[in-house]
Structure 1
Amino acid sequence: MLRRQGVALLRARSTCSMSLLGSIFGIGEFEGARDSSLSRSTSKQQAYNVALLDYVSMNSHPKFMLQKVLANDVPFLMGHVLVGAGQCLAPLMHQDALDAVASLQAATAISKQEETTTAEKLHVKALDAVVHGRYYEAAALYETILLHDYSDLLALRCCYDVYRLLGDYKNLLATVTRRLTSWSPSDAGYSHLLGMQAYGMQAAGRLDAAEALAEKALSMSGNDRWALHTMLHALEARGNANHGASYANQFKEQFDNGGPLERRLYYQWALYMLDLGHYDRVDKMLEVNIFPRQPKGGPHAVPTLCDATQLFWRLRFAGQDTVKLGEELLQNWTAIFPSTSSDVNEVPKACLSPLANVLRYSIMSCVSPSDTPVAEPLMSEPDVDIGCLASQLGLTLYQFSFPPIPDELEKVYTRVCEGFRAYAEDRFIDATQALLPVRGKLGLLGGSEVDQDVVEQLLIECASKCEDLRLVKLLLNERLGTRPQSAQSWNTFSRVSAAMGDSSAVRDAQGMSYVLGLGRGGNQTY
């Protein structure tokens, strides 16, 4: 079994381990600013354990917690690895993703200068793969670490996040399930694994089990923001905006902590507000909580831009004014991924997932249609050469996730981009014909079903603008079958029914949307 000297996780077997840690370091209880740093006097091992547990639960970012410790002890290899992983997989701003390269370089230099364990070498190798977008290779390396040390929380969290980026929800759930039986409820971090497992269950459509498990995780660690995030996801998947908004309001004090999930939590809350027709609240959340102007003028992180772009399209489909938001998004997307490299002062290009590439292109095609470039070709990740890696490392590697069939991802990506471009040019039949063949394969783009749903909404919007409305009615019947409590879906159904001259269906749909909160202000406590 691989042993990591100086980087083993805190595995206290005492049933009061979490409360003890909480009283000393604030884990699970501390509600101060998450940009605070641990004291220089904190030992490297203590600092790593505390920062890791808070990062796994998405309560804080390692770059803040380890700032003073790293400044005091630069040769802290796993500290640099943890910071780099957080910068790359959970960036607070775009600069974080760029700074991850420096963290990787620091860790690589230390690994060459000092004696390192096999696990540490694998972590550095995996971080290199993540930073450079070789996600399938990274997943195989993390799985190999976990094969020898199931308790490696950093490997587990990173492996989990890589699968989430890839949209591989089978392995996202399985990578936790494969290890959970080896853990004890008294182990520090156990409740965080339950929250991660719950998210995997909701991604698999097991909403009842996901909610129950997320509630259990929250009962064990009250401010586990990943478990809270999971609950909000499950409620959104049910399409129950009233319940979701009420739940978000109940836990709103846990949103404002400056941690990796703060803006994402507000994004999920905004989805409920949008479904209920509280567009002014959505605009305010965008301005203050989700997409505020950066103090130094730098671009937002890619995940933040993806969330704001999602809201842009949902607001647009709801008939709201999105001109200002679109201009801000265009400015940010252009800054992180300039169309030309001739300007040496441009911010370096980002490594975007297929879904992020789609969302970026959607803004380019809609906000600035006259200057819309051809959809950026995807850089397909080649098959992982497991044999070569195993030979280099002297280990047997285990790979559970594999790249899609050649050209399949490219076809899905190209058709979705064509759909957005056709919509921007009012070619609604062309958009519909581009999107219909790939709607069942959107998972290849990565992200969650909530993220991919914007493409489904684009298809419905385009179909509703065609002369033949039979397709959109079928699509709406399908949507209402899975989201019967979605006020916006009923409102769209009402609009389509009116265009088809079905007055009875209009009355019924308008009544449902009103009962569900749209058009009457809803519960003002939200």
Structure 2
Amino acid sequence: MAKHTHWRDSKAWLDTGLSLSSTSNEACKLYDAALTQYIGWYDEPSVGGLEATLEALLKSDPSFVMGRVISNGLELLGTGTNIDLNLDLKKNIDEMVDLSMSNSISQREKYHVSAIKFLSDGYQKKACETWERILVENPTDLLALKFAHDSYFYLGESTQIRDSIARVMPYWDDTMPLSSYLHGMYAFGLEETNLYAQAEKEAKLGLHLNPNDPWATHSMAHVLEMSGRAKEGIQFMSTTENDWNICGMIACHNYWHWALYCIEMGDYQKALDIYDKQVEQRTVQSGAPLDMVDAASLLYRLEMEGVSVGKARWQKLFDIVGPHINDHTLVFNDIHYLMAALGTQQDDIVTSYKESIMDFIKVKKGDQRNIMNDVGVAMFEAFQAYNNGEFAKAVEKMIPIRYQVIRIGGSHAQRDVFNQFLIHAALKSTEKQHQKLARCLLIERKSLKDCAPLTDRLTARAMALHID
């Protein structure tokens, strides 16, 4: 693996213009090791993996503010917990804030602390504004850049994903540690703003510099998905599999992309094989929300295509998802957890889940609360209606918020499950207007991606309806 493992000590960080307020060289090196694994989505064996690195980092210098920042930030951005659910996390963040009051802490580090505090309080946009403030003065601060990158993704802010990287690119060069990863990050922003040719160029450059960059692989997978090159996507993922599947934090998601190509081509058995052998097993092992939402999305897409995935698969997934349905860390997660709940066909769970969401809206503040109120509840009710055979109701719930769904975050490829959902609901509705809408949506879909067998299959179904 082409990687940076010569960890930077206190002087090395000072020489880069990013001084760290720790007298411990060991702490500074471990901070670099943690940052490297985070940006590369992998566990470095020489330091015991990311989790062990963070534990050692905090022990090496308990008063090291940036050690607290990266540890608390990663726990929050994992979206598996929050300060309401995890009192230890709340305590750690309060201690981090107290440590930042010292005069020995730089302004840059104080801003980092403020950003994490905003994030913990539910204000992701304010956190992003603070990281961008850091980057104006310190464009090579990779932690600020990556934290902002991930948070923009959670907010569905595609233009910001792109521009945040574009603004700092001229300040980096190939001699800087971890610089190659910027190409994959920039490629993702370009792809999410429909600049596919430029995105492909950046992704290929990132992979040329480091074939083991799984985010560059991921960005390339998105380009091939969105430009209707499913066959090429299957070949790309299969021939590079051993380059990216060693990066365990995102390998499940890249397998998910591979399965999407198979669904597009109508190879449902291959998609199920990928689910069983990779997605499900990795989700069980990791228990990570990113993996759980991908598993739910994949099963739901297959079922919309008419594939019976079996209640056992849904139940096994819900056994992992269930403990998190009251977390409400991301609306994006909540809607996918709903898919898993619906898959188990347990109405009482769905009912209590809805009550939990309404309580969340009543008592909480912050960006996710507002998104849930404005978009998430209608989406929840649409999926619930569809599950109950009330297809016309599902359509009527989705239509008013169709162009707001981006606010729940994720990528265009991930949110496409909701586009497909609306089409399927419209096709199944007994309302002639909805059936005509399905045809219109399919024309729109075809105009965006001409080579799309899945769209062609749905169009054939729509044209078979006697609605004229």
TM-score tier, shorter chain, comes to 0.7 to 0.9
Residues 1:240 and 1:9: Cα distance change in structure 2 (over 3 Å): farther
Deviates more, 1:320-329 or 1:193-202: 320-329
Partner of 1:164: 153
Task: Output the CA distance in 1 between the equivalents of 2:93 and 2:239.
Answer: 40
Partner of 1:194: 183
1:320 aligns with 2:307: yes
Partner of 2:335: 358
Partner of 1:176: 165
| Contact 2:39/2:181 (8 A) holds in 1 | yes
User: Per-residue displacement from partner, 1:177-227 (whole Å, max 9, x unpaired)?
Assistant: 222222233322322122211110000011111001111111122211111
Partner of 2:402: 439
Partner of 1:84: 72
| Contact 2:233/2:258 (8 A) holds in 1 | yes
Q: Which amino acid aligns with 1:303?
A: L
Partner of 1:302: 289
Shift in Å at residue 437 of structure 1? 2.1
SS in 2 for 1:188: coil
Task: Output the CA distance in 2 between the equivalents of 1:351 and 1:412.
Answer: 14
Aligned pairs (5 A) from 1:5-154: 6=10, 9=13, 43-60=26-43, 62-90=50-78, 104=93, 107-108=96-97, 110-111=99-100, 115-154=104-143
Task: Output the CA distance in 2 between the equivalents of 1:129 and 1:245.
Answer: 41
**Structure 1 unmatched runs, 5+:** 14-40, 339-349, 384-402, 503-526
RMSD (Å) for aligned C-alpha atoms: 3.3
Partner of 1:455: 418
SS in 2 for 1:261: helix
Equivalent residue for 1:262, pick from 248, 251, 258: 251
| Contact 1:191/1:220 (8 A) holds in 2 | yes
Residues 1:171 and 1:501: Cα distance change in structure 2 (over 3 Å): closer
Shift in Å at residue 382 of structure 1? 6.0
SS in 1 for 2:402: helix
Q: Which amino acid aligns with 2:384?
A: R
Equivalent residue for 1:218, pick from 207, 224, 229: 207
User: Per-residue displacement from partner, 1:432-457 (whole Å, max 9, x unpaired)?
Assistant: 12212221221122211112111111
Shift in Å at residue 282 of structure 1? 2.6
Task: Output the CA distance in 2 between the equivalents of 1:308 and 1:294.
Answer: 7
SS in 2 for 1:471: helix
Q: Which amino acid aligns with 1:441?
A: Q
Shift in Å at residue 408 of structure 1? 7.6
Task: Output the CA distance in 2 between the equivalents of 1:210 and 1:260.
Answer: 23
Task: Output the CA distance in 2 between the equivalents of 1:293 and 1:240.
Answer: 26
Q: Which amino acid aligns with 2:308?
A: D
Shift in Å at residue 120 of structure 1? 2.2
Partner of 2:20: none
Q: Which has the higher contact order (CA 8 A, sep 6+)?
A: 1
Partner of 1:426: 389
Task: Output the CA distance in 1 between the equivalents of 2:425 and 2:389.
Answer: 9
**Structure 2 unmatched runs, 5+:** 1-8, 18-23, 44-48
Shift in Å at residue 155 of structure 1? 0.7
| Contact 1:217/1:227 (8 A) holds in 2 | yes
Residues 1:210 and 1:11: Cα distance change in structure 2 (over 3 Å): farther
User: Per-residue displacement from partner, 1:8-51 (whole Å, max 9, x unpaired)?
Assistant: 758779xxxxxxxxxxxxxxxxxxxxxxxxxxx98332332243
Shift in Å at residue 460 of structure 1? 0.8
Give the length in aligned residue pairs: 437
Task: Output the CA distance in 2 between the equivalents of 1:95 and 1:135.
Answer: 13
Task: Output the CA distance in 1 between the equivalents of 2:297 and 2:182.
Answer: 28
Task: Output the CA distance in 1 between the equivalents of 2:97 and 2:164.
Answer: 26
Task: Output the CA distance in 2 between the equivalents of 1:295 and 1:303.
Answer: 12
Q: TM-score, normalised by structure 1?
A: 0.74
User: Per-residue displacement from partner, 1:216-250 (whole Å, max 9, x unpaired)?
Assistant: 11112221111111101111112321111111011
SS in 1 for 2:194: coil
Shift in Å at residue 54 of structure 1? 3.5
Equivalent residue for 2:447, pick from 478, 481, 484: 481
User: Per-residue displacement from partner, 1:66-123 (whole Å, max 9, x unpaired)?
Assistant: 44454444444323322332333247x7799957557545644654689422222222
Task: Output the CA distance in 2 between the equivalents of 1:88 and 1:488.
Answer: 36
Task: Output the CA distance in 1 between the equivalents of 2:148 and 2:29.
Answer: 23
Partner of 1:289: 278
Q: TM-score, normalised by structure 2?
A: 0.83
Task: Output the CA distance in 2 between the equivalents of 1:64 and 1:266.
Answer: 26
Deviates more, 1:493-502 or 1:235-244: 493-502
Q: Which amino acid aligns with 1:357?
A: D
SS in 2 for 1:43: helix
Partner of 1:391: none
Task: Output the CA distance in 2 between the equivalents of 1:183 and 1:283.
Answer: 42
User: Per-residue displacement from partner, 1:342-401 (whole Å, max 9, x unpaired)?
Assistant: xxxxxxxx3421222222234434533531223613649868xxxxxxxxxxxxxxxxxx
Residues 1:214 and 1:367: Cα distance change in structure 2 (over 3 Å): same
Deviates more, 1:149-158 or 1:59-68: 59-68
